[in-house]
């Protein structure tokens, strides 16, 4: 690691460790609805019956007005499909008029609405999924919307930071990843890679597997640890749950994206009351030991913090303070990536 990178790793590590210790809720993901008109093979949220939509009133009263939320809190507004929420405009108005920092996630099925919403509500960040182009997109998602995603990029790329998420899954291959990566480079938008797993809420049918070796040159340090994690060669503490939670359309607050473990419901308590309760503190302590997922929406925080700790603290101290984890495996992935 060069000196600049070392200094950044140390600075971020100290900040992250402090936030974990004081359980600062940094990011709140709100799955405002479980409605979705896509037909994905890697996620069956679209197949849920008796849909739930979180109302703007509950979002305002039980989340935004709650004392664990500040202007530093980052929100991920997602679903299901965010734009399938019958009151998505009211929700965007709440966040934009309140001056919150957030990202709107969409599958790109509604390009007119997406473009208009970004402009009207000055959405600060836009995330769209693109798991392949043309036939691959249709194969993965069961609908034909890749061109919509490209159109939204073309119309909005100079107006809003765009993040394109590619999920490596059993229905796409490295040539699809390369095509989407090229598109991102051409259009000047950020490219993110995640990998197929089995979050309980997604009702997946096929078990997750290893990422094939042709993908390796494209993987981040974190994603390079996916296969070793699958082989049970990577075990690090789960710290991110002290800084992030998932809120569902039903008002249930979930521990993380992987586990539908309910911390409380917003129709009974505010987010602050749930977050600060003794029961939830105990759950967070218990799941510190959990290593049951390697999801790109939860665990990069843990890998980065493990890397920071193991870069600056001797192993005996780490093991004494935190327990015996696979510090060397994390270090190796991050060293090879620098």
Ligand X SMILES: C[S@@+](CC[C@H](N)C(=O)[O-])C[C@H]1O[C@@H](n2cnc3c(N)ncnc32)[C@H](O)[C@@H]1O
202 touches ligand X (CB under 6 A)? yes
Residue with tokens 């935190």: 322
Name, in order, each residue with C-beta under 8 angstroms of 233's C-beta and a sequence gap of 6 or more. 326, 329
Q: Which helix (H) or strand (E) holds 104?
A: strand 101-106
* Beta-bridge mates of residue 106: 128
Choosing from 36, 164, 248, 280, the residue that interacts with ligand SF4 (CB under 6 A) is 36
Whole-number Å distance between alpha carbons of 184 and 101: 23
| 292 binds, options ligand SF4, ligand X, none, Cβ within 5 to 8 A by partner type | ligand SF4
77 touches ligand SF4 (CB under 6 A)? no
167 touches ligand X (CB under 6 A)? yes
Choosing from 55, 62, 66, 129, the residue that interacts with ligand X (CB under 6 A) is 129
Could you tell me which of 271, 277, 282, 279 has the C-alpha nearest to residue 247? Answer: 271
42 touches ligand X (CB under 6 A)? yes
Choosing from 291, 304, 310, 326, the residue that interacts with ligand SF4 (CB under 6 A) is 291
Choosing from 13, 132, 194, 228, the residue that interacts with ligand X (CB under 6 A) is 194
**Contact in structure between 80 and 34 (CB atoms under 8 Å):** yes
**What is the three-class DSSP state of 109?**
coil
Shortest reach from residue 126's CB to ligand X, in Å = 11
172 touches ligand X (CB under 6 A)? no
Q: Residue-wise over 65-90: b if at least 16 C-beta within 10 A, else e?
A: ebebbeeebbbbbbbbbbbbbebbbe
| 290 binds, options ligand X, ligand SF4, none, Cβ within 5 to 8 A by partner type | ligand SF4
Q: Which of residues 61-80 bind ligand X (CB under 6 A)?
A: 78-79
148 touches ligand SF4 (CB under 6 A)? no
Name, in order, each residue with C-beta under 8 angstroms of 81's C-beta and a sequence gap of 6 or more. 33, 35, 36, 37, 38, 106, 107, 109, 110
Choosing from 38, 55, 62, 66, the residue that interacts with ligand SF4 (CB under 6 A) is 38
298 touches ligand SF4 (CB under 6 A)? yes
Binding residues for ligand X (CB under 6 A): 36, 42-43, 78-79, 81, 105, 107, 129, 131, 165, 167, 194, 196-197, 202, 204
């Amino acid at each position: 690691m060069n000196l600049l990178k070392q200094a950044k790793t140390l600075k971020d590590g100290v900040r992250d460790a402090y936030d974990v210790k004081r359980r600062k809720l940094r990011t709140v993901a709100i799955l405002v609805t479980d409605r979705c008109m896509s037909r994905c093979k890697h996620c069956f949220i679209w197949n849920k019956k008796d849909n739930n939509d979180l109302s703007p009133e509950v979002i305002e009263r039980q989340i935004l007005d709650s004392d664990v939320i500040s202007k530093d809190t980052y929100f991920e507004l997602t679903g299901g499909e965010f734009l399938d929420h019958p009151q998505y405009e009211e929700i965007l108005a709440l966040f934009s008029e309140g001056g919150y920092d957030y990202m709107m996630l969409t599958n790109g099925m509604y390009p007119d609405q997406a473009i208009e919403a970004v402009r009207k509500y000055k959405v600060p960040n836009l995330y769209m999924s693109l798991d392949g182009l043309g036939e691959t997109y249709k194969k993965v998602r069961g609908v034909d919307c890749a061109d919509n995603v490209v159109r939204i990029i073309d119309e909005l790329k100079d107006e809003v930071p765009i993040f394109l998420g590619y999920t490596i899954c059993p229905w796409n291959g490295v040539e699809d990843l390369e095509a989407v990566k090229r598109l991102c480079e051409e259009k000047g938008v950020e490219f993110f890679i995640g990998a197929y797993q089995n979050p309980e809420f997604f009702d997946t049918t096929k078990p997750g597997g290893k990422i094939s070796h042709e993908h390796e040159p494209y993987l981040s340090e974190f994603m390079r640890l996916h296969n070793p994690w699958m082989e049970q060669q990577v075990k690090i503490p789960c710290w991110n749950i002290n800084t992030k939670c998932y809120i569902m359309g039903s008002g249930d607050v979930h521990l993380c994206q992987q586990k539908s473990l309910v911390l409380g419901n917003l129709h009974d308590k505010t987010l602050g009351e749930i977050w600060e309760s003794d029961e939830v503190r105990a759950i967070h302590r218990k799941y510190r030991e959990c290593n049951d997922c390697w999801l790109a929406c939860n665990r990069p925080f843990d890998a980065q913090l493990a890397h920071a700790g193991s870069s600056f603290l001797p192993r005996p101290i780490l093991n004494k303070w935190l327990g015996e984890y696979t510090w060397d495996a994390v270090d190796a992935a991050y060293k090879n990536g620098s």
